[in-house]
Chains A and B, each alone.
Chain A
Amino acid sequence: MNIFEVRRSALAHWISGKFTSGPRHSLGRSPAQDAARPQRTASRKAARSAALQMLLALWTCSAAVASPLPNDSLYQLDAQLTAHDARDSKLADRRGRPQLVAMFYTSCKFVCPLIIDSVKGVEHVLTPAERADIDFLLISIDPERDDVAALASVAGKRKLGTHWTLARTEERNVRKLAALLGVRYRALADGEFNHTSTLYLLDADGRKLASSSKLGTVPDAEFVAAVRAALSAK
């Protein structure tokens, strides 16, 4: 019996028990259920248990969607992201699809454009179908200067597609995110940053699967293989 049938019959039982009295055949119930009063009680019981089953089924359903986060998921971090399109979301809202993540900052002249090139490099070797199932997330290490306008400007200039998010988060979460990913960075006196520039692959639950430190438009083959594996595991 699928969940629909359970629900329909439970509803029917409930309605018939509640609003009608005497023999009823119109709702297509079995004659045995319609006979005498004790049996009607039994039928109410059945209805109740069916209703319970239904609730249980619904509950298991939703539980499957909101299963607890794995212990080693980056999404354990309660961080608010503001994207280049000014939309706010929780880091954990990324759950459900693999993510390619890196950290950068918009005023960076040398390596950061290369980070975007590297992510694009991975994007380009994927098939359109594969591309549709992955997101690209770049988080700023310079939230003081990287406001929505700065992020939007880079997103526009670099013609980043709909699967791309350039995001900022609070300073205190920048350090935590960097620590979770393995990014090390230091602000320099002139406003630039020293930082590692690695790409990280997260699975649909936010667990780190692979990383690549190869910069440039030609991606690391091993890393691309890991991306494909993550996509097919979905």
Chain B
Amino acid sequence: MSAMLDRLRSPEYAQRSPGIRLARNPRRTLCVLRATCLSLLSCGAHAAEPAWPVLPGNAEFKTVLAYEDTASTVSIPSFELQPQPVTNAEFLRFVTVAPEWRRGTAPTIFVDAEYLAHWSGPLSLGKNAQADQPVSQVSWFAAQAYCEAQGARLPTWSEWEYAAAADATRVDARQDPAWREAILAWYSKPSGQPLAEVGQAAANVYGVQDLHGLVWEWVDDYAAMLVSADNRDQGDADILKFCGAGALSTNDRENYAVLMRIAMLSALEAVDTTRNVGFRCARDLGGRR
């Protein structure tokens, strides 16, 4: 199977697939098409997604977000996390069966004007959106809808942060300056470059890839992270807007990489789409969601 995949991905194959020249020989074209269809079908059957790694729970995960109420640790029950970000090809399959989420059809209350704008059409990827690149230009609503359609959900911030604290050998590599450097290096890259394909980076200790260095990722409660006395709405800043208290600070001022991510996500609205924000899904153990 992997040999077949390699062949499909090989440059020779890529050169063959455009097929315009082949069209002069209808019988051969048919042959190639049939072979392509068959291989796609069998791939489809196999690509039935690698199993989602199960992350063990952690009753006292030390989060960089410190709220007055949490004493800087959060309890994370065991959960499953999609090993790679959702790709263009996967999202295309979703909108193929969910017409209400196609570009041009999805209501503007759920997606902004740039939703999937890099695709060549509502049902075609085109040259600016490779099948194995992470899908981006998707809103939080669209990401939620995708995950729900898979019987899953978006991970919470804590789940994401917990998974992303690991490196290839340690569950928590965050205090390692080399680890931090490596992650920060990504941020210094210009963001105009096309996104790399998913699955290029080494898996972390749980078998999860691309948590750093590829795209920002939506999380279920992205809108809640900076809920504190911060006044986000228009109006008088003195107005009492919150039940209870719970000012935000950080437990880990040195962890710029993660703090930048929080700042970035918190600046977004749920309809926003950007070139560098994608997502992956998660689910509870033993249940659909």
Interfacial residues, chain A to chain B (CB-CB below 8 A): 69, 71-74, 76-77, 108-112, 114, 172, 175-176, 178-180, 182, 184-186, 188-190, 192-198, 211-215
Contacts and interface: CB of A to CB of B under 8 A. Distances in A.
Interface string B225-264: 1011000111110011111111000000000000000000
Contacts of A111: 240-243
Interface stretch (B33-41, B76-84, B140-148, B165-173): B140-148
Contact of B243 (A72, A110, A182): A110
A122 to B, nearest CB: 16
Given A76-B109, A172-B144, A213-B235, A185 B240 contact: no
Contacts of A178: 223
B97 to A, nearest CB: 16
A184 B232 contact: yes
Given A186-B224, A213-B235, A194 B140 contact: no
A19 B234 CA distance: 71
B107 A188 contact: no
Contacts of B242: 111, 194-197
A213 B140 CA distance: 25
Contacts of A194: 227-228, 242-246
Nearest to B107: A76
A188 B228 CA distance: 11
A78 to B, nearest CB: 9
Given A71-B108, A76-B109, A172-B148, A213 B241 contact: yes
A114 B241 CA distance: 10
Contacts of A176: 141, 144, 270
Contact of A193 (B70, B235, B243): B243
B107 A71 contact: yes
A179 B271 CA distance: 9
Nearest to A220: B235
B109 A180 contact: yes
Nearest to A104: B243
A188 B71 CA distance: 11
Given A178-B223, A190-B69, 6 more contacts: A179-B140, A180-B270, A182-B233, A195-B243, A197-B242, A214-B239
- Give the contact-size bracket for chain B: 35 or more
A192 B243 contact: yes
Question: Which of A73, A74, A108, A186 has the most chain B CB atoms closer than 10 A to its own CB?
Answer: A186
B94 interface: no
B110 A188 contact: no
B60 interface: no
What are the 9 closest A-B residue pairs judged by CB atoms, nearest first?
A: A179-B270, A186-B224, A213-B235, A76-B107, A186-B227, A192-B244, A111-B243, A189-B69, A188-B69
16 contacts: A69-B107, A72-B109, A76-B107, A108-B243, A110-B243, A111-B240, A179-B269, A186-B246, A189-B70, A194-B227, A196-B227, A196-B233, A197-B241, A197-B243, A211-B233, A213-B233
Nearest to A178: B223
B244 A193 contact: yes
Question: Which of A114, A175, A193, A214 has the most chain B CB atoms closer than 10 A to its own CB?
Answer: A175
Contact of A215 (B109, B110, B225, B240): B240
A14 to B, nearest CB: 39
Contact of B110 (A76, A109, A214): A76
A204 B152 CA distance: 34
Contacts of A182: 233
Contacts of B103: none
A180 B236 CA distance: 22
Contacts of A186: 67, 221, 224-225, 227, 246
Given A182-B233, A197-B243, A215-B240, A71 B109 contact: yes
Contacts of B233: 182, 196, 198, 211, 213
Contacts of A190: 69, 244
